A and B are shown apart, each in its own frame.
Chain A
């Protein structure tokens, strides 16, 4: 901008412009002076959407008529956690092949063609503790698409050729587990926290994948994939009563079988504090994770812990870790912390960053200082207010559409959380005080139990050499164990 323009613009910046231009409101001197219209948001209760079909299937249903579309989301009570001994990967493979392997009356190619011709998307995937399925189409095609979905879920063909190709793909991808520091870190952190034997660390190997047969898929499917293990959410351009009738029809006669897993074993492993370093060739940035085991959700300190994690590292740039590691020191593009409250068993507390090899030690020191500070100093009321506002003010945005509301209730139904949880959520978060934050930090953050995992150029990370802390080394934070990379197939070493 030229000087002349700048000067001409000055009256506006001095707040004079409003007086010159008629009927224009003046600009408040600071955004804090803006008067916002009142606004309250109330999340509609689960009961408004919940229906039960005659076979006992729970359906969350909402009309959403702005667009001529139909969407269905299904939660499945099944998971890799119950893969039979020696068959790790069975549940996941079965989930994929329900969609890919054709149906009783349709070859895989025919099923693909029919869905693609309708421009419908049918999806199925199975994780460790939960499976998911879904269907999306234009509302004019809902009958045909639903019929295909039911056929696929109820009568999968598990075509041998498709199964073979899927197994070959997995066998090849298994070899790629050590390609990125991201993948190495994710796998190793799981082992450090939950131990070698926990189901969450049971990965498919070439042996387990090779041993899975079509009969295994069919038997597993027969046991667990039925309406008794489903919760369903549907939203779109339909009449609620008509859609419920339709769902009654498509699920009619589908027998209910064995109940899928409802609980999952907690790990018995006790993580060993210390510094663990894994070397990866040809990278100039280390990936560091610092943390320990946390707790299960639903306890008396659930909301205070949320605010605590927010102040430490989960409110973006407002958080202490981002302010120091990134904004003040320029050490990392990505840093933060999370106190995960597990659904089935204790989750993990983690803080993380990625930084050039020689500054990993310096950034680690800052993260440790901030973890200790949460325990040593009471946070300010402003800290709490901001962390609470971060969560509370954006609460309506968790639910940008009907399906987002339904999915929330669907997940709660699946995991057994009180459906009223969200109705009191905002008030519960607002009640948290600085004293609460200090109390839970002292109770739930354990600096003496911290595990530090660094993946990258091992010797450069250990050597340190940041210009602000030239003598600081990773070895200064505890006993360093340099671990070789795991065999990507068996994940043993």
Chain B
């Protein structure tokens, strides 16, 4: 997509689309039933900067965003986390913003860099020592070499003397004292975005600051900010109950694709990114032809076009063509499993590789997600209401990213049940979606929800700005209108086909989280069984539990069906003593559930 944008360079303005309306939203009829969509004005400047503009005059504000087509997938080898770290650096100012005297400041930064180079060399030596077991933490000041301690002290003094040239957080201050709200930025695997909501009369400030920092950024206070980014990683990942495990699960799921590397980077790599590294990254990716500017709100398009010309036309197009990520996931060759013991409720996460955003099967996968989710979805009914095995609402849905996608089902497990048991129920439900009936009622319900959300998603200026920017960076802004339309056209046959294509249980990746109890996993007993066991002599408990375990782990569908059939016959014949009937019925249920899951999994792979 970025390649396509770069080709549009004839004339001062190249209208990429004829979809030009003075108001972004069409009027609704008396009995509106579906969204007629959103039609932004689309303009591509000579230097490749693309503008998506939606005028709405109800409230005197404008939601504004810059979406750069760069993210963690573009982190060079050994520099994971650089796209995110760089996003922080773009708040540190430019030649003009954030400095009291850039001329003098430059020599300070140069001297800092020279010393840092020496410190990096010494740090590499300390890493060697760590590898040899002579020290165990290169970040612990108590373990630093005397040379490093000395240089670090000098560096600290340099940073302090540099401070007289730094206007602390001037960019932030300019935005917020002019009414900028929600000012922030975000880095994802496929995107980096900078956004703010401004009072309508202050929109020029956005053009000034964003055009300035597209090319004039100064990487000041770099190493201090790198420390803050490390703190962000501790906060979000390392010191949360499941953060470390969630990260490891991503790395397990993505075998070759850079999606498996965390946006925040691996700590050892983030800690060693240098100021020069981020300068290179900046020059490569922060160009007008790799960016989309999105505005939604109270402005006049003609004024905005003049502002764009005034501020952005001066920035030359990037010369180095950017290539998309070419790495593809190899088809999964085996089930992958992951066990974690953490301070959390027991949980199962099951994932399948699916498709990138905009793929022709995506809408079907989205409908499948809807059929499974929510209070009246299939998973809730089966896992929460019928089996009473899940805690709270199970979640299921497809996530199509720019280059690839996945479908995930996530279920919190009741403490008296096992995650493995839930896993079998989920597989059984997936099998039913592939082979069983999907009623018109279910599909109509999903479609009503699609219609409703196709309207709701357009309501807030901020929300619409995000969607236009995200979708156009990953695929095309028209996705916002087309994806509901495509979902409305999905049939039961589509669902059967897509289930068969993507949901082979043999290719699943599963994470099982058990509650850390200071010891091994706790043996969970189904409460129904626990109640039945009350009437059984204690010496027989072990035997019964072992038999159930065998049933649950059997792979022999034929035998499971035969055995459960025989037991059912026995029950029907009245030959079973009354005090054994309930237990026998329980065995039948266990075997049938297991057989059902196996059949589903077999059909998947056929």
Contact = CB atoms under 8 A, between A and B. Distances in A.
A219 interface: no
Contacts of B152: 467
Given A1-B318, A285-B235, A34 B204 contact: yes
B32 interface: yes
Contacts of A34: 204-205, 208
Given A39-B60, A179-B344, A25 B306 contact: yes
A318 B169 contact: yes
B345 A456 contact: no
Interface stretch (B177-185, B399-407, B493-501): B177-185
Interface in B213-252: 215-216, 221, 223-232, 234-235, 238-241
A487 B87 CA distance: 42
A179 B343 contact: yes
Contacts of B61: 396-397, 400
Contact of B172 (A8, A180, A317, A465): A317
Interface centre among B226, B238, B343, B374 (most CB of A within 10 A): B343
B106 interface: no
Contacts of A178: 343
A329 B224 contact: yes
Given A67-B459, A109-B385, A28 B208 contact: yes
Contact of B177 (A36, A328, A390, A397): A390
Given A140-B31, A178-B343, A285-B239, A330 B451 contact: no
A465 B344 contact: no
Interface in A39-76: 39, 41, 65-69
Given A9-B316, A179-B241, A67 B455 contact: yes
Interface in B346-405: 374-376, 384-385, 388, 391-392
Given A1-B316, A67-B28, A69-B456, A168 B228 contact: no
Interface stretch (B194-202, B424-432, B540-548, B591-599): B194-202
Contacts of B97: 31
A38 B201 contact: yes
Contacts of A67: 25, 28, 455-456, 458-459
Contacts of B584: none
A86 interface: no
A167 B274 CA distance: 53
A354 B235 contact: yes
A116 B374 contact: yes
A37 interface: yes
Contact of B449 (A39, A119, A172): A119
A488 to B, nearest CB: 11
B239 A456 contact: yes
Given A318-B172, A328-B163, A27 B96 contact: no
Contacts of B374: 116
Contacts of B174: 31-32
Interface in A150-190: 165, 168-169, 172-173, 175-176, 178-181
B448 A118 contact: yes
A333 interface: yes
Given A138-B452, A467-B152, A333 B201 contact: no
B172 A355 contact: no
A13 interface: yes
A116 B376 contact: yes
B418 interface: no
Contacts of A138: 32, 451-452, 455
B101 interface: no
A178 B343 CA distance: 8
Given A396-B60, A401-B460, A315 B176 contact: yes
A105 interface: no
Interface in B106-145: 140-142, 144
B315 A12 contact: yes
A69 B172 contact: no
Contacts of B318: 1
B452 A466 contact: no
B232 A333 contact: yes
B283 to A, nearest CB: 5
B314 A9 contact: yes
B200 A27 contact: no
Given A109-B385, A165-B384, A355-B231, A316 B176 contact: yes
Contacts of B459: 66-67, 69, 401
Contacts of A68: 28, 32, 455
Contacts of B177: 318, 385-386, 389-390, 393
Contacts of A39: 60, 199-202
Interface residues of A, number: 95
A334 interface: yes
Given A138-B451, A327-B221, A397 B314 contact: no
Contacts of B223: 330
Given A172-B414, A237-B28, A400-B460, A328 B231 contact: no
Contact of B197 (A28, A180, A397): A397
A202 interface: no
Interface string A354-378: 1110100000000000000000000
Given A21-B313, A113-B376, A118-B448, A401 B59 contact: yes
B33 interface: yes
A322 B226 CA distance: 15
B93 to A, nearest CB: 11
B42 interface: no
Interface centre among A41, A109, A322 (most CB of B within 10 A): A41
Contacts of A27: 208, 211, 310-311, 314
A331 interface: yes
A27 B96 CA distance: 13
B274 to A, nearest CB: 16
Given A140-B32, A394-B181, A168 B201 contact: no
Nearest to A389: B177
Contacts of B344: 176, 179
B208 A169 contact: no
Nearest to B152: A467
Interface in A196-243: 237
A351 to B, nearest CB: 16
A385 B451 CA distance: 47
A285 B231 contact: yes
A98 to B, nearest CB: 14
B441 to A, nearest CB: 8
B235 A31 contact: no
Interface string A6-32: 001100110001100100111111111
B310 A24 contact: yes
Contact of B448 (A119, A355, A390, A465): A119
A356 B345 contact: no
A385 B392 CA distance: 48
Contact of A400 (B144, B201, B415, B461): B461
A234 B311 CA distance: 43
Contacts of B141: 465-467, 470
Nearest to A283: B239
A443 interface: no
B343 A180 contact: yes
B172 to A, nearest CB: 4
Contact of B391 (A172, A331, A356): A172
B445 interface: yes
A397 B199 contact: yes
B319 interface: yes
B481 interface: no
Contact of B231 (A30, A332, A389): A332
Given A317-B172, A470-B141, A330 B205 contact: no
A2 interface: yes
A5 B318 CA distance: 9
B163 A116 contact: no
Q: Which 7 A-B pairs have the closest CB atoms?
A: A330-B227, A12-B314, A393-B179, A119-B452, A389-B177, A39-B201, A317-B169
5 contacts: A1-B319, A27-B208, A27-B314, A393-B179, A396-B59
